[in-house]
Amino acid sequence: MEFRLKALRKERGISQLKLAMDLNMNQNSISRYENYEREADYKTLIKFADYFDVSIDYLLGRKNEK
């Protein structure tokens, strides 16, 4: 399964720092999610999905439709 956070962020031209600030998170946490060093809980997954306007299934690589 592929976590698409990094791809979505880069596709939109958003830095880790901007994403972290927009979501009231730490930039280091974003880096850890992107590098598979940490798994997002369901509340965090919802934040990411809402921010990028995609489904959680898309974010987790389970479906190809955003």
What are the pLDDT digits (tens) for 26-43? 999 999 999 999 999 999
**Average pLDDT, rounded, for the chain:** 95
CA angle 29, 34, 37 (to 5 degrees): 70
- The CATH number assigned to the domain with range 5-59 reads 1.10.260.40
The arithmetic mean of pLDDT across residues 9-16, rounded, is 97
Reply yes or no on whether the pLDDT at 1 is more than 80. no
Contact in structure between 31 and 23 (CB atoms under 8 Å): no
pTM confidence score: 0.91
